[in-house]
Structure 1
Amino acid sequence: MESLHRDDEKRTLRRFLRRQRQALSEHEQRLAAQRLCHQLKALPEIRRAKRISLYLPVNGEIDPTPLIEWLRKRRVEVYLPVLRPFSANVLWFVAYQRDTPMVRNRFNIWEPDMRFSAQRQNRLPAWALDTLIVPLVGYDANANRMGMGGGFYDRSLAFMHRPGPSPNLIGVAHACQQVASLPVEPWDVPLTAVVSDQGYVRRTR
């Protein structure tokens, strides 16, 4: 019963936080994206990265894509997440260029079109990346992340629960998505930091 109650609380909080970000105007979204990218450029994990993934925003998610041109000027390889076929809720990461053929996935999100052999040849597992910039619905001061509930990143990054080298995980969000605290589940993959349009928080434990 306690678990069911907590699940209900999480669903309610997700709905509230999604409404918060969806209520932002187009101008507020553009301004937030510019400020976010200014914050990201100063982060050592971003400045050191050679292979980095980010995402194309939907449903009011903060937009990290203004960072792409800056990354390319620094000769950083940019990747996007792609739903892995025949594997439930797991992601591949595929190289993204200006001319990359794109297609909408089952969630209506644009991703590189894996029907092209060049795309299949340019895919990597998460462990091969330096840094992942990941979306979230909510976060707290200890960089705990609330995702959409599908578990895509948690499953794709489950290897990080084992000893060995791991990529940096940078959550990004609007500042209005920060909450006092979030429950942590055993399967949650810890973030390195969360960056918003107004600053950042780092994991302290």
Structure 2
Amino acid sequence: MTHMQDTAALTEDTRRRLRRELRHRRRALSAKARRDAAERLCRHLRQLPDIQRARRVALYLPNDGEIDPTPLIPWLERRGTRVYLPVLKPLSSNQLWFVHYHSGTPMIANRYGIPEPETRHGAHRARRKPAWALDMILLPLVGFDDRGQRMGMGGGFYDRTLAFTRRPGPRPRLIGLAHDCQRVERLPAAPWDVPLDAIVTDARVIRP
């Protein structure tokens, strides 16, 4: 299946195979290609009016070949913007907290082996925020299309955490990030999918 194939009607098995293919595609990029893509991505992000106004921005540490937003951190901090990272909530709630992050933040591997801020001690727990208290969340994508539909890793963490954005009230701007090679012709919308405000890659900005 190529990234331009129509995927409007995906069975669960087809979705798994597509997710596997797209993950392989991003992991196959060389280290230099990933660094160059990260720089182009961050150049696009810095031009977004929403991020220029934001005071609290969540992003992620790249894993499994995900495009890297961390070169953006020094620029955000120079502007006085607080940077947050996602942390898996304990007690199997399968949702995310967001914890203030800086270069000295103690880190620990979560149950998937991904580094996240340490929250076992009270002082660190006090730095966490719910998603609604943020101005912007940059989230990783496995796949996307030109209509703004997205495919994640399949765990549903962001969809559960951000389900509140479908209701009236304060909400962060949601920006999906991916390598441009993760684009597909068409992805179907699942009932639980949380819509994005934009998708940014190393090559383009898509506003649904």
TM-score range, shorter chain: over 0.9
SS for the counterpart of 1:92 is strand
Q: 115-124 vs 13-22, which deviates more?
A: 115-124
Give 1:175's match in structure 2, choosing from 161, 180, 183: 180
- Pick from 66, 70, 79 the counterpart of residue 74 of structure 1: 79
TM-superposed CA distance for 1:40, in Å, is: 0.3
* Distance in structure 2 (CA, Å) of the matches to 1:110 and 1:30: 20
User: Partner of 1:142 in structure 2?
Assistant: 147
Aligned mates of 2:119, 2:126 — CA distance in 1: 9
Distance, in Å, in 1 between the alignment partners of 2:68 and 2:24 is 16
Shift in Å, 1:6: 1.2
* Identity among equivalent pairs (%): 58
Equivalents in 2 of 1:72, 1:118: separation in Å? Answer: 21
Which runs of 5 or more residues in structure 2 are unaligned? 1-9
> Which residue in the other structure is 1:10 paired with?
15
Residue in 2 that maps onto 1:63? 68
Residue pairs, 1:65-144, within 5 angstroms: 65-144=70-149
Large movers: runs of 4+ above 6 Å = none
Q: Which runs of 5+ in 1 are unaligned?
A: none
Q: Distance in 2 between matches of 1:67 and 1:146?
A: 23
Cα distance in 1 between the residues matched to 2:128 and 2:62: 20
TM-score after normalising by structure 1: 0.95
- What's the secondary structure of 1:80's corresponding residue? strand
CA distance in 2, matches of 1:102, 1:195: 27
The residue number in structure 2 matching 1:30 is 35
Shift of 1:116: 2.5
Once the two structures are TM-superposed, the CA of residue 165 in structure 1 deviates from its matched residue by 2.4
The separation in 1 between residues aligned to 2:23 and 2:150, in whole angstroms, is: 14
SS of the residue corresponding to residue 181 of structure 1 reads coil
CA RMSD, aligned part only? 1.2
The structural deviation recorded for 1:143 is 1.3
For 2:33, give the aligned amino acid: E
Query: What's the CA shift for 1:161?
Result: 1.4
AA matched with 2:76: L
Q: Deviations over 1:72-98 (max 9, x none)?
A: 000001000000001431000000011
Higher relative contact order at CA 8 Å, sep ≥6: structure 1 or structure 2?
2
TM-superposition CA deviations, 1:27-76 (whole Å, max 9, x none): 00000000100000001111111000000001100000000000000000
Displacement of 1:162 after TM fit? 1.1
Amino acid in the other structure paired with 1:101: P
Distance 1:118 1:51 in 2: 19
Alpha-carbon distance, 1:131 to partner: 0.2
Provide the C-alpha distance between the structure 1 equivalents of 2:49 and 2:19, rounded to a whole number of angstroms. 30
AA aligned to 1:88 is S
